[in-house]
């Protein structure tokens, strides 16, 4: 297939942590993503006070933006540095506690209680730990997942969704023979087969 050359590629969690240490985070955008602003109505669908999930969240500024609108935000990120930078860059006081169900994991929560970031691998989460969500903002998440883990990632995401939840997904369109990723190329046909 046209994405064949990327299929075997693996970026380890350790490599992601190193990217953060080296400041190699070109994916981070200081300004909120224009597509979230454009499709916010689709995500919210007239609802307020939603629980919104940010898989592979980095220090995405949109988490603050949605929390300020009255929603409750949960993210998961393997780099503790990213999580701490999120809170410090927005001058948000937070507390830190272990997650009893996941060995080695920590949960960082804003003192106001509306932003909770889990520092662990997304594959350690389940709905019994984080609950279910009314909305998902997936930018730099499915496209950052190793191609071999896509099915597992999507099955997990589906298990974290409430019945009427909305899922906004951003992908990147490019020639996968010219760039090894991430972001990986995820063709629309694969998105359809993964999510059904
Ligand atoms: N969504 C963010 C970050 C995208 S980059 C944004 O829009 O800016 C992908 C992020 O996923 C990185 O910060 C990386 O550290 C994190 N990550 C990679 N694999 C992960 C995993 N298995 N579990 C949790 N986080 C992971």
Torsion over CA: 53, 114, 18, 173 (sign):
positive
Tell me what pLDDT residue 2 has.
54
CB distance 138 to ligand 1 below 6 Å: no
Residue 25 lies in a domain: no
H or E, element range at 142: none
Average pLDDT over residues 32-48: 97
Rounded to whole angstroms, what are the CA distances from 96 to 50, 115, 145?
23, 12, 26
Residue 3 lies in a domain: no
Residue 101 lies in a domain: yes
- Here the tokens at position 144 are 């950052």
Average pLDDT over residues 172-182: 93
Residue 135 lies in a domain: yes
Residue 44 lies in a domain: yes
Claim: this prediction has a pTM higher than 0.85: yes
Average pLDDT over residues 166-181: 95
Mutate to test the pocket of ligand 1, among 86, 144, 168 (most ligand atoms within 8 A of CB): 144
Residue 2 lies in a domain: no
Mutate to test the pocket of ligand 1, among 18, 56, 141, 171 (most ligand atoms within 8 A of CB): 56
CATH number at residue 51: 3.40.50.150
Residue 6 lies in a domain: no
143: β partners: none
Residue 96 lies in a domain: yes
* CA dihedral angle for residue 136, residue 17, residue 20, residue 4, rounded to 10 degrees: -70
CB distance 9 to ligand 1 below 6 Å: no
- Looking at the structure of the chain, the number of domains it has is 1
Closest by CA position to 71, among listed 37, 48, 87: 48
Tell me what pLDDT residue 164 has.
94
**Residue 129 CB: number of other CB atoms within 10 A?**
16
CB-CB contact of 141 with 55 (8 Å): yes
- Indicate whether 106 pLDDT > 90: yes
Residue nearest atom 5 of ligand 1, based on CA coordinates: 140
Structural domain including 128 reads 13-20+33-195
pLDDT in tens, 125-159: 999 999 999 999 999 999 999 999 999 999 999 99
């Amino acid at each position: 297939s046209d994405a064949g050359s990327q299929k075997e590629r693996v970026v380890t969690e350790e490599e992601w942590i190193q990217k953060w240490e080296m400041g190699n985070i070109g994916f981070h955008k200081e300004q909120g993503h224009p597509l979230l602003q454009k499709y916010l109505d689709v995500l919210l669908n007239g609802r307020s006070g939603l629980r919104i999930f940010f898989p592979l969240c980095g220090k995405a500024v949109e988490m603050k933006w949605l929390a300020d609108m009255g929603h409750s935000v949960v993210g998961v990120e393997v780099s503790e540095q990213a999580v701490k930078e999120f809170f410090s860059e927005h001058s948000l006081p937070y507390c830190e506690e272990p997650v009893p169900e996941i060995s080695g994991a920590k949960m960082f929560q804003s003192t106001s209680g509306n932003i909770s970031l889990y520092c662990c691998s997304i594959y350690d989460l389940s709905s019994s730990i984080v609950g279910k969500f009314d909305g998902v903002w997936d930018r730099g998440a499915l496209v950052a997942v190793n191609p071999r883990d896509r099915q597992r990632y999507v099955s997990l995401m589906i298990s974290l969704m409430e019945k009427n939840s909305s899922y906004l997904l951003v992908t990147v369109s490019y020639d996968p023979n010219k760039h090894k990723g991430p972001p990986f190329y995820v063709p629309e046909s694969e998105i359809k087969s993964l999510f059904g």
